[in-house]
């Protein structure tokens, strides 16, 4: 819990309290905030941020700009930082309470373990450190799951639609609702997404979205160059493995190997197969009300199959870990907890155990950044793959216990 106190409470609060307009503000939040229209209504604010976007260019999904809209009229960087941090604290508390509600009929010891897993998770620290929208996105996915367990299907789709337009990744849930024949949730999500798309076109303009431009550019290139250490997707892990460059702690992007043009179709096939097998298993078990595990499975999928990711994306694995705890207790298959523990260690805790430095770092020079090093070895990606496979097994082996989940509500 000391790590939570230091990295989620003490460090972020200390940072925003001492914010000055002359300070450099890093992280994705400040790079994407404020949106373009402040040039007209509050131009002084844009000059105080470190945004990379000029003119009408904007990034992320439109929901970030909707949620932060009230903040764009403030002239105080400190006020914006404190307010957004407070909002994220509230969202995290809400997400944890929703996760405990999923575990409502389970022993208190298991609930406490779930809270410890959430609060001790390294990517969560990074999400607070960089003030990103992903905590809001995590909350909306958990809220959607809660509505699903309570059979409020329209609200399920609305919540997931809002999550999808926060950072696009939860769009994988759209075919999920179709497979599960939950027409209300499917159309509610589709309509929510379409309405946001239309409003965004008349306000920010999709042609100005830098995130979509990057995605389209990468899909057209023979090599997308995302060997960046922060990216822990399947594609990034494979490309780092085949990269011919040596590790250097200050190098952000690593040159691709000469076989990258050959690797791309292979990687694309692997990513496609990963998505296909997940939806195939869900289709086979579509009549089972295994919602908790399925949400965990798809939340893991949306981290693993994109072309690149960020260091805080693994916070969505927390949904899978909560689902796995539920499954292990309900089925009494305690052997799975070993796999679960190793996965958690690799995705969210190994960076906090300095004893690993003595084992792994001596092979390199002492100037290596340990955080970069562990990510460069793709430990979080391998841990995520382990969790994904475990959730696949849980989903496929769904028995009668799954149908009791919704009855508890």
Distance of CA 406 to the CA centre of its chain: 26
Task: Give pLDDT tens digits for 170-208.
Answer: 999 999 999 999 999 999 999 999 999 999 999 999 988
* Rg of the chain taking only CA atoms, in angstroms: 21
pLDDT at 374: 82
What burial letters (b/e) apply to 333-350, b meaning 16+ CB within 10 Å?
Answer: eeeeeebbebbbbbbbbb
| b/e per residue 273-301 (b: at least 16 CB within 10 A) | ebbeebbebbeebeebbbbbbbbbbbbbb
Residue pair 301/367 in contact (Cβ under 8 Å)? The answer is no
Q: How confident is the model at residue 243, as a pLDDT?
A: 67
The pLDDT averaged over each successive group of 10 residues in the chain (409 residues) is: 66 76 71 81 78 76 92 88 92 95 88 92 89 94 96 96 94 96 96 96 90 72 64 87 57 46 79 94 90 95 89 95 92 90 92 69 61 84 96 81 41
Residue 190 and residue 174 in contact, taking contact as beta carbons nearer than 8 Å = yes
280 half-sphere exposure, CB direction, 13 A CA radius: 7
pLDDT of residue 296: 96
Distance CA 69, CA 60 (A): 14
Token pair belonging to 398: 């769904």
DSSP calls for 256-297? PPTTHHHHHHHHHHHHHHHHHHHHHHHHHTTTS--HHHHHHH
């Amino acid at each position: 819990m000391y790590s939570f106190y230091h990295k989620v409470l003490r460090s972020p609060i200390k940072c925003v309290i001492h914010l000055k307009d002359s300070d450099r503000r890093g992280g994705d939040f400040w790079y994407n905030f404020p949106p373009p229209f402040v040039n007209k209504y509050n131009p002084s604010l844009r000059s105080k941020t470190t945004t990379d976007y000029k003119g009408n260019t904007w990034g992320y999904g439109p929901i970030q700009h909707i949620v932060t809209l009230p903040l764009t009229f403030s002239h105080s960087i400190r006020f914006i930082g404190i307010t957004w941090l407070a909002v994220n604290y509230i969202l995290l508390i809400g997400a944890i309470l929703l996760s405990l509600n999923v575990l409502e009929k389970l022993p208190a010891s298991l609930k406490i373990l779930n809270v410890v897993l959430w609060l001790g998770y390294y990517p969560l620290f990074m999400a607070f450190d960089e003030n990103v929208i992903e905590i809001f996105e995590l909350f909306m996915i958990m809220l959607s799951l809660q509505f699903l367990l309570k059979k409020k299907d329209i609200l399920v789709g609305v919540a997931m639609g809002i999550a999808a337009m926060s950072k696009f990744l939860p769009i994988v849930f759209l075919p999920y609702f179709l497979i599960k024949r939950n027409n209300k949730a499917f159309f509610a999500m589709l309509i929510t997404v379409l309405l946001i798309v239309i409003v965004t076109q008349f306000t920010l303009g999709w042609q100005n979205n830098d995130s979509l431009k990057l995605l389209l550019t990468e899909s057209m290139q023979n090599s997308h160059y995302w060997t960046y250490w922060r990216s822990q997707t399947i594609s990034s892990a494979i490309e780092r493995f085949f990269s011919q460059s040596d590790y250097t702690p200050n190098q952000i992007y690593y040159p691709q190997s000469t076989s990258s043009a050959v690797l791309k179709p292979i990687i694309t096939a692997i990513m496609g197969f990963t998505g296909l097998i997940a939806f195939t298993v869900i289709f086979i078990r579509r009549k089972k009300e295994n919602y908790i595990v399925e949400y965990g499975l798809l939340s893991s999928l949306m981290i693993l199959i994109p072309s690149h990711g960020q260091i805080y994306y693994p916070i969505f694995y927390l949904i899978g870990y909560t689902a796995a705890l539920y499954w292990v207790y309900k089925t009494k298959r305690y052997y799975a907890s070993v796999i679960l523990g190793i996965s958690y260690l690799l995705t969210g805790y190994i960076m906090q155990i300095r004893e690993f430095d003595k084992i792994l770092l001596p092979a390199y020079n002492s100037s290596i950044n340990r955080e970069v090093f562990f990510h460069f070895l793709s430990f979080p990606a391998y841990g995520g793959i382990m969790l994904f496979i475990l959730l696949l097994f849980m989903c496929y082996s769904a028995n009668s216990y799954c149908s009791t989940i919704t009855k508890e509500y």
